[in-house]
Amino acid sequence: MKKDVSLFIPCTVDLFLPHIGEATVSLLRRGGVNPVYHPEQTCCGQPAINAGYQKEARQAAKHFIEVFGKDETVVSPSGSCVCMVKYHYPELLADEPEWRRRAEDLAPRVYELSQYLVDVLKIEDLGSSFAGKVAYHESCHILHGLGVSEQPKKLIKAVKGTQWIPLNAADSCCGFGGEFANHYPDISEAMVKDKVDNYLACGADLLLLCEPGCLLNIGGYLSRNHPGKKVMHLANFLAGNGREG
Amino acid sequence: MEIKTEQFTEAVKRELQNARSRAFLKLMPPVLHMKRDISLATFPDIPAAQAYGATIREEAMERLPELLEEFEKNALANGARVFWARDAEEANAYITNLAKERGVKYVTKGKSMVTEEMGLNEVLSKNGVEVWETDLGEFIAQQLHRPPFHIVGPAINVPVEEVCDLFMKKANMKEPTLDPVKLGYAARLFLRDKFHHVQMGITGINIAVAETGTIINVENEGNIRFTKASPPTQVSVMSLEKVVPTMYDALHLIRLLCRNCTGQKLSAYVSMDSRPKKKDEIDGPEELFIVIVDNGRTKIYQDLKARDVLRCIRCAACLNICPVYRQIGGYAYGWAYSGPMGQVLNPVLLGLDRTQDLYRASTLCGACKSVCPVGIDHPSLFLYYRAKDVLGDPYFKGKRRPWMEEHIFKGWNWAVNRSWRWNLGIRMVRPYINKNAAGGVIRKLTRSFDGWFRSRDLPPMAEKTFHERWSEIKEGKG
């Protein structure tokens, strides 16, 4: 009997990038576990807490805890959503002891995908291959929030035929920040331009990352300004041998 | 100092067009950050050293009232005089009065953020007391009438050509030069003359030590040492959070401050003063005044969460790593404090209502938190301020958000804890979003999303969401 792993699908993935969810399923199956999906899941509440709507975010948190609370393992292809559940839920529910306890109880069972594959399943080589050069963008919530940096690199470096290209300022923010990108376009554009310029300069064929938000931002900028260049979620890269979907 | 925090967006636009600022920002903050990394590596255990700093400042905040009293008691016993100022006005009036009573014509000043916050220079000037900033960067910024671009290097962005012109006009420089060392020397000669006859010197305080009543300044130019030692009257100004329990604590903070600030293991000068000179001593001021300024900090202190901002030791590591500061520089923040430390401090000193852009113009990337030597969690404070603002919190003067935004989140809230409502909402919204799609991408939506679409596309909403695909995926068809 394979171990069940609960899929925590970020709403950005659900609505705009479902192929990331499918790739996540495929990788977990390759990893020998059984992905299950609770159709009752909605949004973790990140947009609300970031905008300052904590009462509303609290509603989302309680719903999430109701849906996922009994799962042994919860895995998501987004570092920021995982940070929300692991770190913000207990704080958000601080004044409601029973909810807080449930949030704290759930927190250690929630993982970002690459973290789960490498740290828990102890898998680095997923049998993928890609003949080309790739660079990796260290998304802020993955790096600073979860302290995950080596795990995605190990997964990438195990892909047959892939050449790892160092990216200048790989760990600097791409300028997404949810509402930030829309409210402060001057700053956000300058940031994503720097990120893309570094990508173009490094000579990689493909830019990889583990965060759907950064993917929308960098991908949206590339689509508008450098249509030939691609950015891809690590899950798709590994599941589709460098081909999306 | 004039408060321009509400002109953030305009200032950002201006600074993003400023080629000189841009060129400087591409270079200097990353270099400072790299120097920081190298100097921190001299600690046997970097995270432990940083965590120790956080613990010292945490303890200092826990015990702040008693530590301040202990500091005052020891400072008085040493022969210093201590004045408690409830706000900037009281502090400025007290210092101005000291100058007037002594017939002081001009004062020399060491670099001090709190006097910047208080607007002391303006008040002294209005009262006929000339003010000479003696830190090279402060001197340049003062002569150019510019706000600080960086909390440690206030004029660090001013090109040498401009400094040369300025010194030819205002610092008696004889020959034009673009050599930074020669420019520095010219300022030294000019300011040295000021020190010769100075009657009163004003400095800030980096650390105040409760157990000894000692005040500590950290600097690289020696001008603070001069400002403290040359005149008969020394005035040192501190905001009330600067105190730590012991000299041992202070020494560790100095180690952290220098490394995190300029990437030095120790700055060129560290001066520790406890008392005016004794009768038989040659050096030192005849009288020492310590001004302890509240100016809104007790109010911050009483909020247990916001209290964390008072840990800050002004090292500027957060500025140098901040991806937003690295784009816009220091002017846009609109007041004495810039970068992430300014974004957490200014809102609770000035009110959330006129600093909305400061705590909202952050991607919450957490780079600031990752380098902070005293354990400030800037992103968490941004979220805290945003929440207070949404609620129109009276304590820190939250403003509330636009009607439209409040209603969007009401709708969101209606759907988020019922998946059928959530998925119904998606099915209803999808056609409206996707009718804007052309060639597989959306290039424009309603005006409220122009910020995004100005330079970015968005993929259309999936014809089938992951949720809608699950039944196929589950069967292994996906």
Per-residue pLDDT tens digits for B295-323:
999 999 999 999 999 999 999 999 999 99
Given A42, A91, A176, which is nearest B363 (Cβ)?
A: A176
Residue A175 is assigned to a structural domain of this protein: yes
Same-domain pairing of A109 and A209: no
Residue B310 is assigned to a structural domain of this protein: no
Rounded mean pLDDT of chain B? 96
Q: Does A244 touch chain B (CB under 8 A)?
A: no
Domain residues for the domain of B384 are: 1-42+315-401
Same-domain pairing of A111 and A183: no
Mutate which: B467, B468, B474, B477, vs A, most A CBs within 10 A: B467
Same-domain pairing of B345 and B439: no
Same-domain pairing of A140 and A114: no
Same-domain pairing of B450 and B356: no
Q: How many CB atoms lie within 10 A of CB B433?
A: 17
Which residues on A lie below 8 Å from B362 (Cβ)? 177, 180
Same-domain pairing of B19 and B56: no
Q: How many domains does chain A have?
A: 2
Same-domain pairing of A128 and A220: yes
Same-domain pairing of B54 and B137: yes
Contact A22 B413 (CB under 8 A): no
Same-domain pairing of B174 and B253: yes
Contact B367 A43 (CB under 8 A): no
Which residues lie closer than 8 Å to B156 by C-beta, 6 or more apart?
B24, B28, B137, B149, B150
Given B13, B365, B409, which is nearest A173 (Cβ)?
A: B365
Contact A25 B473 (CB under 8 A): yes
Residue B252 is assigned to a structural domain of this protein: yes
The DSSP output letter for B447 is G
Which residues on A lie below 8 Å from B388 (Cβ)? 52
Which of the listed residues A78, A102, A118 is the one where a domain comes to its end? A118
Which of the listed residues A118, A142, A176 is the one where a domain comes to its end? A118
Strands in A230-233's sheet, in edge-to-edge order, are A160-164, A129-136, A206-209, A230-233
Residue B412 is assigned to a structural domain of this protein: no
Same-domain pairing of B249 and B234: yes
Looking at the complex, report in whole angstroms how far the Cα of residue B350 sits from the nearest Cα belonging to chain A. 19
Per-residue pLDDT tens digits for A89-144:
999 999 999 999 999 999 999 999 999 999 999 999 999 999 999 999 999 999 99
Q: Does B363 touch chain A (CB under 8 A)?
A: yes
Q: Does A113 touch chain B (CB under 8 A)?
A: no
**Helices B419-434/B403-416 angle, 10° precision:** 130
Given B380, B413, B465, which is nearest A59 (Cβ)?
A: B413
Question: DSSP string spanning B275-290?
Answer: SPPPTT-SSS-SEEEE
Residues 173-232 of B with CB under 8 A from A: none
Which of the listed residues A84, A118, A152 is the one where a domain comes to its end? A118
Same-domain pairing of B367 and B454: no
Same-domain pairing of B371 and B261: no
Given A144, A178, A194, which is nearest B366 (Cβ)?
A: A144
Q: Does A189 touch chain B (CB under 8 A)?
A: yes
Which is it for the CA torsion B39, B42, B43, B44, positive or negative?
positive
Same-domain pairing of B251 and B149: yes
Looking up residue A179, the CATH number of its domain turns out to be 3.40.50
Residue B300 is assigned to a structural domain of this protein: no
Same-domain pairing of A113 and A29: yes
CA-atom Rg of chain A in angstroms: 18
Q: Which two tokens stand for residue A95?
A: 């004044």
Same-domain pairing of A70 and A139: no
Mutate which: A86, A184, A218, vs B, most B CBs within 10 A: A184
Same-domain pairing of B358 and B450: no
pTM: 0.96
The interface pTM score, or ipTM, of the predicted complex is: 0.96
Same-domain pairing of A102 and A180: no
Residue A245 is assigned to a structural domain of this protein: no
- What percent of chain B has pLDDT above 90? 95
Compute CA distances B214 → B132, B235, B281, B288, whole Å: 25, 14, 18, 12
Residue A8 is assigned to a structural domain of this protein: yes
Contact A9 B466 (CB under 8 A): yes
Residue of chain B whose alpha carbon sits nearest to that of A59: B417
Same-domain pairing of A132 and A233: yes
Same-domain pairing of A159 and A235: yes
Residue B213 is assigned to a structural domain of this protein: yes
What is the pLDDT tens value at each position of chain B, 478 positions in all? 889 999 999 999 999 999 989 999 999 999 999 999 999 999 999 999 999 999 999 999 999 999 999 999 999 999 999 999 999 999 999 999 999 999 999 999 999 999 999 999 999 999 999 999 999 999 999 999 999 999 999 999 999 999 999 999 999 999 999 999 999 999 999 999 999 999 999 999 999 999 999 999 999 999 999 999 999 999 999 999 999 999 999 999 999 999 999 999 999 999 999 999 998 998 899 999 999 999 999 999 999 999 999 999 999 999 999 999 999 999 999 999 999 999 999 999 999 999 999 999 999 999 999 999 999 999 999 999 999 999 999 999 999 999 999 999 999 999 999 999 999 999 999 999 999 999 999 999 999 999 999 999 999 999 999 999 999 998 875 4
Same-domain pairing of A12 and A114: yes
Given A41, A185, A194, which is nearest B451 (Cβ)?
A: A185
Per-residue pLDDT tens digits for B199-211:
999 999 999 999 9
Residue A244 is assigned to a structural domain of this protein: no
Same-domain pairing of A24 and A54: yes
Same-domain pairing of A14 and A110: yes
Q: Which two tokens stand for residue B48?
A: 């432990």
Contact B409 A53 (CB under 8 A): yes
Residue A26 is assigned to a structural domain of this protein: yes
Looking up residue B104, the CATH number of its domain turns out to be 3.40.50.10420
Given B416, B462, B478, which is nearest A15 (Cβ)?
A: B462
Domain residues for the domain of A150 are: 124-239
Residue A10 is assigned to a structural domain of this protein: yes
Cβ B330 vs Cβ B151: under 8 Å: yes
Same-domain pairing of B460 and B359: no
Contact B470 A219 (CB under 8 A): no
Mutate which: B456, B463, B477, vs A, most A CBs within 10 A: B456
Residue of chain B whose alpha carbon sits nearest to that of A41: B419
Q: How many domains does chain B have?
A: 3
d(CA B88, CA B116): 10
Same-domain pairing of B394 and B330: yes
